[in-house]
Amino acid sequence: MNAAPASDLATQLIALLAALMLVAQVLLAVQRMLLTSVRLFALQSLLLAAIAAVVALAHGAGHVWVVAALTLAGKVAFLPWLLGRQVRRMQIVQEIDPLMNFPASMAVCGALTLLGYIVARPFTTLERLGHNTLAVAITLVLTGFFLMINRRTAITQVLALLTVENGVMLAAVALTTYGMPLVVELVIFFDVLVAVMVLGILVYRIRESFASMDVARLNQLKG
């Protein structure tokens, strides 16, 4: 297979996988069942690992293979297992009513998707594998922050933080010189891993203290 057709095929595959990541993000925004939300995050991370694998295969970038393997081990296997264990342990299976209802949340997600494509439009002329994923990466970051604001359950806010990091890693893997330096990627990955483990302990303590995972209860600590 010639290099140009192979590159075109890889670009199309990356665009498809990135679009599926965005679909998983939108489903996460309207999902109320916590275990299903955890599984949606695991699916999104699996798609991110697949994108990294395509980039690594197309360009022989060994350090991107490391990113794909770490994503599989950490975000597809370990973190979903850890968060799912927390949900089962605390026996709270459903999301507390968000600040905005689901039709309004869908409208906000649609607006943020449009904003992401508007911001990314000047970069669509880049002749680089995965250049058309920048809009998806920006949208993942924006909708992740929206989820952190809109949701009241600590577990969902942790998932929102992780989807923001997925957006950052998507941009890094697909748009930079085929991945940031490996040491930077490792630092980001382990920072997020430690942050989620600490947040998992915090979630458990919130549940013990207030018999709820509603972060609004933390306001009772004032004074």
Per residue in 108-139, pLDDT (tens digit) is: 999 999 999 898 887 766 555 556 788 899 99
As a whole number, mean pLDDT of residues 91-113 equals: 82
Domain boundaries, the chain: 3-221
For residue 63, give the nearest of 194, 173, 191 by alpha carbon.
173
What percent of the chain clears pLDDT 70, i.e. is strictly above it?
69
As a whole number, mean pLDDT of residues 74-101 equals: 80
| Confidence band, pLDDT 50/70/90 cuts, at residue 44 | very high
Residues 6+ apart with CB under 8 A from 91: none
Which one-letter DSSP state was computed for residue 153?
B
Six-digit token string for 186: 């490792």
Which one-letter DSSP state was computed for residue 220?
G
Q: What is the pLDDT of residues 132-175, one digit of tens each?
A: 788 899 999 999 999 888 887 777 888 888 898 899 888 877 66
pTM, whole model, 2 decimals? 0.81
